[in-house]
A and B are shown apart, each in its own frame.
Chain A
Amino acid sequence: MSQYILLRHREIPNLGKLEVYRQNDGFQAFYKAVTSMKPEEVIEVVKASGLRGRGGAGFPTGMKWAFVDRHNWPHYVVANADESEPGTFKDREIMENNPFQFLEGVAIAAYAVQANVAYIYLRGEFWQIAHQLDQRIAELYASGLLGDNLFGTDYSLRIYTHLGAGAYICGEETAMLESLEGKLGQPRLRPPFPPSYGLFGKPTVVNNVETLTNVPLIVANGASWYRQYGTEKSPGTKIFCLSGRINRPGNYELPLGTTFRQLIYEHGGGIPEGRQIKAIMPAGASSSLIIATDEALDTPMDYESVPNVGAALGSASLIIIDDTVSIPWLINKTIHFFKHESCGKCTPCREGTYWMMHLTERIAGGAATWEDVELLKDVASQMKGKCLCALGEFSIEAVLSGIERFKGDFEAQVGATQAAAEELPVPAD
């Protein structure tokens, strides 16, 4: 096999040039789809490939496309390029270096659901990437790969970029749609889901950049080709973002099912300065903290196995924590992030992240008592299951798992007084 499905630019120099991309069969899949496949056939191939959403939820992509309401038109495709989860930086590499494969994926998705307009919603910080994409999209129009009556058919497609402006919540698909519509980026109620009520109230497919970038090769090579990578239930490769206390941070495209150990030690070069690994956050700041036991390290990274060690694969953005890191400090960091990014729409998240921030600051600052730790746990538990969207629900993952799995760190942090009080010797007689 070629090692890469997504990060092919690492093997093929200048793949970001349209000419080079086309020399490497670029846009053959889109051409094939538009000229010789029915939209349903494209959906079938993607369904059969078992491709699952790479944005974090892992929802089967083909199924999502099939849900698009055929009685309500027009349809839209929105590529989620809002990559904002702390620890995640994969979509950026794709868009910077293998942009045409991504754009071809967008185009195929649009054809599959018969959308004539697709938007790429990029976080505002990706200003330069958006401008590069705009230029590349212009090249596609000029080459007849986008525009009206493509390849002599009656299918037409336009792709536009749209820049966000600094709001993590817009990575949530319905908040993204609201934002794209020119409103506050606050999540909508679901149901209805975007395939029935999406952008401008029309049926819409929202897919992550990485997900879409898989599509051209699946359509070109077929579902069974794709299924040779990864596991039965999690086929394909995945880009793992490796950051934190690691020797070789970066993106690693590996088959799903690769173990934590392989990624961290074989690919990532292990922990700097010969330190001990303490914990792993496999899905960025939204993640539970996994205690880095041998059992955990040998767990395959796929959608089914990671829950066995008390976390979720999510976007596969691994933040590596070594033994120098205090967990109360860590959760203070993540809670600051969520408090800053909470959109404010629902009460538990708006008030809960704010309250937790006060508590984690106090705990991390050494001014807290054990009561505060208990209260923090209560507040987090009180949020659980009550938030409108995943932001609030995920904000408590590190808190609850941290207190449960790294209790010692908290005990150490709440100060000598408390510890001393608990350890007072029982008076003799």
Chain B
Amino acid sequence: MAKLVTLTIDGKQVTVPEGTLVVDAAKRIGIDIPVFCYHPKMEPVGMCRMCLVEIGRPAIDRATGEAVREADGSPRVVFSPKLETACTTPVAEGMVVIGASEKVKEGRKAILEFLLTSHPLDCPICDKGGECPLQNLTMGFGPGQSRFIYDDKIHLAKHVPLGELIFLDRERCIQCARCVRFQEAVVDDPVIGFYQRGRSLEIVTYSEPGFDSIFSGNTTDICPVGALTTADFRFGARPWELNAAASICAQCPVGCNITFNVRREAKAGGRWVIKRVMPRQNEAVNEIWICDKGRFGYHYTESPHRLSQPLVRKHGELTPASWEEALGLVADRFRQAGDGLLTLASGRLSNEDLFNLHQLTTSLGGKSALYTHMAGGDLVSRIGVAPGTNFADMGTGSAILVVASDLHEEAPIWWLRVKQAAERGATLIVLNPRPTRLDKFASHVLRYAYGSEAAAVLAMVNSLSAKRPDLPETVKALGRSPELEAAAKAFAAAENGVILFGSEGTSLATSQALAQACANLLITTNHVGRPNNGLIGVWQRANDQGAWDIGFRPMPDLAQAMRSARALYIVGADPAGDDPTLVETGDFLVVQELFLTDTAKLADVVLPVQAYTEREGSFTSGERRVQRFYPAVPERPGSKADFTIAGQIGALLGLDMEARLASKVFLRLAVSLKEYAGLSYTRLSEVEEQFPIVGRGDLYYGGTTYENTQGLGVQLPPTILLGEPLPLGWLELPQIQMPQDGLLAVPVTRLYDRGQTLLPSELLHPRLPQPYVAINPADGKRYRIPDGATVEIRSQTPISLVTLRRDPLVPEGVLLVPRSMGVPINGPTPVDLRQVERVIA
């Protein structure tokens, strides 16, 4: 616990930890000291000089070291003759800060006058107008008129695309360097910088593509003027026209808190439309940041290709039908199927949807399955991180093991938070078959061959407690590495330990083994059942963890199960799109979807659903935080919420199910699952004060990120804390079939994939790779296939044609296959490669 220091700011006393900056101390007692360059999430630089205040310090008698006292016994305070920057000055005992004097006001006015000499004053046409720190502070403190001759202003380019996503208005930039510092210091992506110097300083990018960073959108939130705007929102609306709806990003398992800004729009026929996605503060989840996929990837919810009415197959054709007809048919067929019903759902759905689907299915005696490429969620339910876990609290004394995950691609905000924990002194162990962007922050970087992830973790366990002499040779070999042993010891020695496991190169089976190995390591090292300890799954979808909690499990042989189902109910998943061989139309197929996907095209009944932006619900994040999302726009006519559809089918079957209110479904869920016990929407919407304080009237401090007034969510206890001890689990290391002389193809996750929910965001198209696979240049030479050639991949599954890239980061002997690019590789698979002449369109 840091020492506390008491000081006086504008007559108010405040006690804050030693090291706090004056500007932040003032903020805590509601005193706003204006800033431009300072941002509470970044180191102070003292550049803009806006935060100048008078600072007095108690006089100390040099001879005695005692405080000098006035006649009345009060300590004598000596003021510096110059104004000082509140953003760079740490508090000190007895300090007196004056931010409301004439001298300070003059100082602020002076700085504003300086800034305005080079500012275009084009507020009426500026996107930032209405939420602009420069505008607001000029109103508050600035000069009433300009003494700078307007004609002396330099005019600069106003529409500079730094990339396809972010535009720069050079005239408006006030050189505060927030964007440059954010990219360098916060996200380690210094792809924008200053060019020239002095009055000529300008923001530039030399990356290809321009401003090549997956966090670029955040710079527009912290830009204190209208210099940086997103291509998505610029000229789209004025901030004061917008309504705000709290939500949760549905793109990955982090569960970033976001706000949808919406308005009615004439060009949309008077409908409500989403104009932009803004981050919403949750210091335990995403702080005040979001990634560009979350910010720009929402357009699928508004796609004109959304389904708008139920379809029923008649005479071989999908034909529009009424809800009554469609649901009646589905209910009949499900009743007939009975225990032959297989419900396949994905973690794209909310807890309420999944709960109702599960209840419907189990009531009929059917089976429910989770559509995923990753296992281990059951273990996460049992030894996931305990309530109170926050990456921000991890630093020296904590250890974080990231295994089989390219976190930067799979869950960007976790990458950021893990990186920052490492920078604060946490021991970061990265265990991955190829280099990733996390390596440079790690204290231990360990490699293993694709397919040996579980073995590698087991080797760590084994190096700590050699209890199993009968270990397979893979484990023993890995265990002989002194680096691995050192990493294992560091992990064991740490007070707190968290493991994030992903799906880099794994199949369902290998990922189950990996999760068990991770669980064993956590149990062995006693990193369970406490805050900042436990297992986190880097899932593919936002609510995979919720699905596991509710009881959905992946099926080892899904294709077989689907073939043999008497009725197949696929919700929020497109197996046929991912692998055309996977779905053979069985007796009766119902698909519940936003779009007419490849799977839906095969269906007997297609049921159109509401996008999650149109309804209520909750997701359970990878850190097992249950968070609410709220309706942002009215539903598309003709569509229903997933839980409603399941509930209405249930009603037709005479089941007692809630179909109307998500909140009531959630209450039922809370009754049936003990780790959710006691939860309600009210409870999920509770908030407490967070620091830094952002999103209020003073947008200059934290930026345009939204304050969280709608709920911080609740982190679930792992069941190990609910009287369900978890013993070390025996695990069978899955045998990987190794190629004879071909390559081992492995699936990996890319942030910008070609999935159903990303493709409709056209803005991102230049960033979405065309389908490709990658090999090491040495293999490229061996196969005599140049970079960029079209190749044919041959394995047991049908042949895929795709572009080949040479990438030195891919280990030799491996063919890297990004998921969702149309090459159905679902785990380590031996393949052969051949160049073909055909050009892919």
Seen from chain A, the residues whose Cβ lies within 8 Å of a Cβ on chain B are 167, 169, 184, 189, 339-348, 350-355, 358, 375, 378, 382-383, 385-388
Q: Are A355 and B197 in contact (CB under 8 A)?
A: no
Cβ-defined partner of B110 (8 Å) among A341, A358, A382 = A382
Q: How far is B111's CA from A253's CA once the two chains are assembled, in angstroms?
A: 43
Q: Are A348 and B49 in contact (CB under 8 A)?
A: yes
Q: How far is B174's CA from A48's CA once the two chains are assembled, in angstroms?
A: 48
**With A344-B201, A350-B199 as given contacts, are A355 and B114 in contact (CB-CB < 8 Å)?**
yes
18 residue pairs bridging A and B, Cβ less than 8 Å apart:
A184-B197, A189-B44, A189-B46, A189-B88, A341-B198, A344-B196, A344-B200, A345-B45, A346-B46, A348-B110, A350-B201, A351-B117, A351-B118, A352-B114, A354-B117, A375-B147, A382-B110, A385-B83
Q: How far is B47's CA from A387's CA once the two chains are assembled, in angstroms?
A: 9
Closest chain-A Cβ to B499's Cβ sits at a distance in Å of 32
Q: How far is B109's CA from A386's CA once the two chains are assembled, in angstroms?
A: 12
Cβ-defined partner of A385 (8 Å) among B44, B45, B82, B199 = B82
**With A344-B175, A382-B110 as given contacts, are A388 and B201 in contact (CB-CB < 8 Å)?**
no
Determine whether B691 belongs to the interface, using a CB cutoff of 8 Å to chain A: no
Determine whether B52 belongs to the interface, using a CB cutoff of 8 Å to chain A: yes
**With A344-B197, A344-B198 as given contacts, are A355 and B148 in contact (CB-CB < 8 Å)?**
yes
**With A347-B47, A388-B46 as given contacts, are A342 and B198 in contact (CB-CB < 8 Å)?**
yes
Q: Are A343 and B49 in contact (CB under 8 A)?
A: no
**With A189-B88, A358-B152, A386-B107 as given contacts, are A343 and B117 in contact (CB-CB < 8 Å)?**
no
Q: How far is B52's CA from A186's CA once the two chains are assembled, in angstroms?
A: 20
Cβ-defined partner of B47 (8 Å) among A341, A354, A385, A388 = A388
Measured as residues with beta carbon below 8 angstroms from the partner, the interface class of chain B is 20 to 34
Q: Per DSSP, are chain A's interface residues mostly helix, strand or loop, or mixed?
A: helix
Q: How far is B114's CA from A352's CA once the two chains are assembled, in angstroms?
A: 6
Name the residue of chain A whose CB is nearest to the CB of B201: A344
Cβ-defined partner of B197 (8 Å) among A167, A347, A352 = A167
Closest chain-A Cβ to B700's Cβ sits at a distance in Å of 14
Closest chain-B Cβ to A190's Cβ sits at a distance in Å of 10
Which residues from chain B contact A340 at a C-beta distance below 8 Å?
198
Residues in B82-130 with C-beta less than 8 Å from chain A:
82-83, 88, 107, 110-111, 113-115, 117-118
Which residues from chain A contact B198 at a C-beta distance below 8 Å?
339-344, 350, 353-354
Closest chain-A Cβ to B200's Cβ sits at a distance in Å of 7
Which residues from chain B contact A169 at a C-beta distance below 8 Å?
197
14 extra interface residue pairs, beta carbon distance < 8 Å, beyond A343-B198, A385-B83, A388-B49? A339-B198, A344-B175, A344-B197, A345-B177, A346-B46, A347-B111, A347-B115, A350-B175, A351-B117, A354-B199, A358-B148, A378-B147, A386-B83, A386-B110
Which residues from chain B contact A358 at a C-beta distance below 8 Å?
148-149, 152
Q: Are A386 and B52 in contact (CB under 8 A)?
A: yes
Name the residue of chain B whose CB is nearest to the CB of A378: B147
> Which of B45, B107, B199 gathers the greatest number of chain A CB atoms within 10 Å?
B199
Q: How far is B82's CA from A382's CA once the two chains are assembled, in angstroms?
A: 12
Which residues from chain B contact A167 at a C-beta distance below 8 Å?
197
Q: Are A343 and B50 in contact (CB under 8 A)?
A: no
Which residues from chain A contact B197 at a C-beta distance below 8 Å?
167, 169, 184, 342-344
Q: How far is B46's CA from A189's CA once the two chains are assembled, in angstroms?
A: 7
The 9 closest A-B pairs by CB, nearest first: A351-B114, A342-B198, A344-B201, A382-B110, A385-B82, A354-B199, A344-B198, A358-B152, A344-B197
Q: Are A355 and B107 in contact (CB under 8 A)?
A: no
Which residues from chain B contact A343 at a C-beta distance below 8 Å?
197-198
How many residue pairs at the A-B interface have CB separations less than 8 Å?
89
Determine whether B392 belongs to the interface, using a CB cutoff of 8 Å to chain A: no
Q: Are A355 and B110 in contact (CB under 8 A)?
A: no
Which residues from chain B contact A350 at a C-beta distance below 8 Å?
114, 175, 198-199, 201
Closest chain-B Cβ to A82's Cβ sits at a distance in Å of 15
Which residues from chain A contact B200 at a C-beta distance below 8 Å?
344
Which residues from chain A contact B113 at a C-beta distance below 8 Å?
382
Which residues from chain A contact B52 at a C-beta distance below 8 Å?
386
Which residues from chain A contact B175 at a C-beta distance below 8 Å?
344-345, 347, 350
Determine whether B48 belongs to the interface, using a CB cutoff of 8 Å to chain A: yes
**With A189-B44, A339-B199, A341-B198 as given contacts, are A346 and B110 in contact (CB-CB < 8 Å)?**
no
Q: Are A354 and B111 in contact (CB under 8 A)?
A: no
Q: How far is B198's CA from A346's CA once the two chains are assembled, in angstroms?
A: 9
Determine whether B235 belongs to the interface, using a CB cutoff of 8 Å to chain A: no
Closest chain-B Cβ to A336's Cβ sits at a distance in Å of 12
Q: Digitize B35-61: 1 where CB-to-A-CB distance is under 8 Å, 0 elsewhere.
A: 000000000111111101000000000
Q: How far is B83's CA from A382's CA once the two chains are assembled, in angstroms?
A: 12
Closest chain-B Cβ to A385's Cβ sits at a distance in Å of 4
Q: Digitize B724-745: 1 where CB-to-A-CB distance is under 8 Å, 0 elsewhere.
A: 0000000000000000000000
Name the residue of chain A whose CB is nearest to the CB of B115: A347
Q: Are B44 and A348 in contact (CB under 8 A)?
A: no
Closest chain-A Cβ to B343's Cβ sits at a distance in Å of 58
Determine whether B783 belongs to the interface, using a CB cutoff of 8 Å to chain A: no
Closest chain-B Cβ to A72's Cβ sits at a distance in Å of 17
Which residues from chain B contact A354 at a C-beta distance below 8 Å?
117-118, 198-199
Q: Are B111 and A342 in contact (CB under 8 A)?
A: no
Which residues from chain A contact B149 at a C-beta distance below 8 Å?
358
Name the residue of chain B whose CB is nearest to the CB of A375: B147
Q: How far is B107's CA from A184's CA once the two chains are assembled, in angstroms?
A: 27
Which residues from chain B contact A387 at a C-beta distance below 8 Å?
49
Which residues from chain A contact B117 at a C-beta distance below 8 Å?
351, 354-355
Which residues from chain B contact A346 at a C-beta distance below 8 Å?
46-49
Q: How far is B196's CA from A353's CA once the two chains are assembled, in angstroms?
A: 16
Q: Are B114 and A347 in contact (CB under 8 A)?
A: yes
Q: How far is B201's CA from A388's CA once the two chains are assembled, in angstroms?
A: 17
Which residues from chain B contact A388 at a C-beta distance below 8 Å?
46-47, 49
Q: How far is B201's CA from A339's CA once the two chains are assembled, in angstroms?
A: 12
Q: How far is B81's CA from A346's CA once the two chains are assembled, in angstroms?
A: 20
Residues in B759-803 with C-beta less than 8 Å from chain A:
none
Which residues from chain A contact B147 at a C-beta distance below 8 Å?
375, 378
Determine whether B206 belongs to the interface, using a CB cutoff of 8 Å to chain A: no
Closest chain-A Cβ to B595's Cβ sits at a distance in Å of 49
Closest chain-A Cβ to B106's Cβ sits at a distance in Å of 8
Which residues from chain B contact A345 at a C-beta distance below 8 Å?
45, 47, 175, 177
Q: How far is B198's CA from A167's CA once the two chains are assembled, in angstroms?
A: 11
Closest chain-A Cβ to B425's Cβ sits at a distance in Å of 16
Which residues from chain A contact B148 at a C-beta distance below 8 Å?
355, 358
Q: How far is B175's CA from A386's CA once the two chains are assembled, in angstroms?
A: 17
Which residues from chain B contact A339 at a C-beta distance below 8 Å?
198-199
Q: Are A351 and B115 in contact (CB under 8 A)?
A: yes
Closest chain-B Cβ to A166's Cβ sits at a distance in Å of 10
Residues in B291-340 with C-beta less than 8 Å from chain A:
none
Q: How far is B380's CA from A160's CA once the two chains are assembled, in angstroms?
A: 56
Q: Are B199 and A351 in contact (CB under 8 A)?
A: yes
Q: How far is B149's CA from A388's CA once the two chains are assembled, in angstroms?
A: 26
Which residues from chain B contact A352 at a C-beta distance below 8 Å?
114
Which residues from chain A contact B199 at a C-beta distance below 8 Å?
339, 342, 344, 350-351, 353-354
Closest chain-B Cβ to A377's Cβ sits at a distance in Å of 12
Q: Digitize B168-179: 1 where CB-to-A-CB distance is under 8 Å, 0 elsewhere.
A: 000000110100
Q: How far is B110's CA from A169's CA once the two chains are assembled, in angstroms?
A: 23
Q: How far is B200's CA from A169's CA once the two chains are assembled, in angstroms?
A: 15
Q: How far is B198's CA from A344's CA once the two chains are assembled, in angstroms?
A: 3
Q: How far is B201's CA from A19's CA once the two chains are assembled, in angstroms?
A: 49
Q: How far is B200's CA from A189's CA once the two chains are assembled, in angstroms?
A: 22
Which residues from chain B contact A344 at a C-beta distance below 8 Å?
175, 194, 196-201
Which residues from chain A contact B107 at a C-beta distance below 8 Å?
386
Name the residue of chain A whose CB is nearest to the CB of B87: A189
Which residues from chain B contact A386 at a C-beta distance below 8 Å?
49, 52, 82-83, 107, 110-111
Q: How far is B196's CA from A167's CA once the two chains are assembled, in angstroms?
A: 11
Closest chain-B Cβ to A17's Cβ sits at a distance in Å of 40
Residues in B689-734 with C-beta less than 8 Å from chain A:
none
Cβ-defined partner of B45 (8 Å) among A184, A189, A355, A383 = A189
Q: How far is B149's CA from A375's CA once the two chains are assembled, in angstroms?
A: 11
Q: How far is B111's CA from A386's CA once the two chains are assembled, in angstroms?
A: 9
Closest chain-B Cβ to A212's Cβ sits at a distance in Å of 28
